[in-house]
Amino acid sequence: MSFLSRIMDVKSKAHFSHGGASRPAHLTGATAFQGHRKRSGKQARSRVAVIMACFGLAYCVIGGRLVQYGMTLPESVSSIGPADNLLASRPDIVDRNGEILATDIRTVSLYAEPHKIVDADEALEMIQTVLPDLDPKATYKKLTSNSRFQWLQRQLTPKQQSRILALGIPGVGFRPEKRRFYPSGAASAHIVGYVNIDNRGIAGMERYIDNQGLADLAAIGMTSDAKMEPVRLSIDLRVQSMLHDVIVESMAKYQAEAAGAVVLDVHTGEILAMASVPDYDPNNPAESAKDGWLNRMSDGTFEMGSTFKTFTTAMALDSGKVTLKDSFDARYPIRIGGFTIKDFHGKHRVLTVPEIFQYSSNIGTAKMADIVGIPAHKEFLTRLGLLSKMQTELPEVKTPSQPREWKKINSITISFGHGVSTTPLQTAVAGATLMNGGKYVPPTFLPRSREEADAMAQAVVKQSTSDDMRYLMRVNAMVGSGKRALVPGFNVGGKTGTADKVVNGRYAKNGLNFNAFLSAFPIDDPQYMVLSFIDAPKTGEGGGRTAGLNAAPMVGEIIRRSAPLLGVKPKFGEDGSALLVSY
């Protein structure tokens, strides 16, 4: 078959295909081509619509995020989030009423990547416009070092970060960190303590928290930003702030080198307030602490002077060898070992036990100690916790000092407060033992219930001895050296202590004193122990400088201002006068 014949045969078959239906060949090809074009056009339009929808959705998401950032971020450019959204890496510290004493806030620190610094001189010049206190030589050395990371400034403010960001310095960045903030500042510094630049506890209850396991967890990387339960302390921030104000004012008023005070619950051992000055601001400890590092209440030891006569008298009464009706000859000084023991304001007569306490007779007190004996004397002071290191949560606790060998001269001088150095806080705790019925309760800076305290209390003194000592303390406050501690409506009892100050192991020859006042209130049913001290005062009420003229008024002011806060109600008679307790 020829090529032409084959062509004609194909056309003939196409003309009569599909069941014999006859369609012109040229019409069938055109229709198929048009259908293909329609399908392609529809698909193209669908693809364009999908692409447009995707772009529209992307722009909506971006626009929505921009609106969100614009509404939530502060005006200054900063990576520091809002305070309500911050999580702490250390637990908050709060007082007994939930008031914050220490908390974490988020901040940022400035660092440099020296290998990315284009011009170190220019970078340094620009940074100093925001941080003028930077050491230029040290900073330049960091910017030009071979390392890949250098801290430039720790813990910036949001404003400083925003200004540095605006400079656009290559190779400089920010790293989020935590900073500890102490709202009460210096008022509770010696109790709360402070942390270092890496948020690790250095002193006070901050160090105590780390010693309970927080530091170990941090060292192995097991701490997180999860919110921790706050650590509640026993102190009352209201009383703490008031007490701090009193000792600051007294130190200035009496021109003293230092001062301190404590308020202690006699039944639970809880420290309600405690402070000593000079002190420091824990928010900036390096710059504010010169002489203020020492917590003189628990980490300083002093000869407590005649406040120790309280313990000597209690020892004599508790031994059963002395009663309140006994008398001792105080007419002549005691001469022993080349020393002469005499009274500061001697009455030069026979004195009863209450008179020995009231007139603070060294001679009478020494004779009571001599009756009891040296071994019993040492044992009694040990029972009261005055000769051993105090056990409590606060890390800064100093061990008392005493003679290696107790001889008769040592027992005599210790009886009236010379020869043994102990901490003021220990003295207050021992005083509380004599006021609460004779139970020694270890002091605590954490909340403790009466039931918990009773479970750990040790009976070390007879109830009758406690009753007698409350009577003597009240009499001394009413007619003795503690009169300036009296507060109308509140029955205050106490004992003064004026000791020659020890400087470099020797008694000062220029008449410097270390004065203290040990007191309890209300003395008919003691609830709180208050102790104050004033170191090397140059004056006092009425011009003198003994404890009754400066340490006692400090206690009176603390009781007057703290009693309402502690819920102690004043007692007044029908005529409006203060009721006095009779024994």
Residues labelled as active-site residues: 306
- Cα–Cα distance between 52 and 511 in angstroms, integer? 94
Beta-carbon contacts of residue 468 (< 8 Å; ≥ 6 apart): 314, 317, 324
- Cα–Cα distance between 446 and 195 in angstroms, integer? 19
**Residue 438, strand partner residues:** none
Strands 231-232 and 194-195 turn out to be: unpaired
Tokens for 182? 């102490």
- Cα–Cα distance between 353 and 326 in angstroms, integer? 6
> Looking at this protein, which amino acid is placed at residue 296?
R
- Cα–Cα distance between 285 and 282 in angstroms, integer? 5
- Cα–Cα distance between 469 and 483 in angstroms, integer? 17
- Cα–Cα distance between 22 and 468 in angstroms, integer? 137
- Cα–Cα distance between 566 and 583 in angstroms, integer? 26
Nearest CA to 235 out of 520, 518, 521, 447 is that of 447
Q: How many helices (H) and strands (E) does the chain have?
A: 19, 20
Place of tokens 């004397």: 377
Beta-carbon contacts of residue 283 (< 8 Å; ≥ 6 apart): 181, 182, 185
Count of Cβ atoms closer than 10 Å to residue 309 Cβ: 29
Nearest CA to 161 out of 220, 237, 80 is that of 80
Measure the CA angle with vertex 93, ends 90 and 97; round to 5°: 150
Q: Is 265 in contact with 274 (CB distance < 8 Å)?
A: no
**Residue 277, strand partner residues:** 259
Beta-carbon contacts of residue 69 (< 8 Å; ≥ 6 apart): none
Phi/psi at 16 (5° precision): -110, 20
* Helix, strand, coil tally for the chain in percent (to 5): 45, 20, 40
Beta-carbon contacts of residue 323 (< 8 Å; ≥ 6 apart): 317, 353
Q: Is 529 in contact with 568 (CB distance < 8 Å)?
A: no
Q: For 45-79, b where at least 16 C-beta lie within 10 A, e where not — what string? A: eeeeeeeeeeeeeeeeeeeeeeeeeeeeeeeeebe
DSSP string computed for 127-184: HHTT-TTS-HHHHHHHHTSSSS-EEEEEEE-HHHHHHHHHHT-TTEEEEEEEEEE-TT
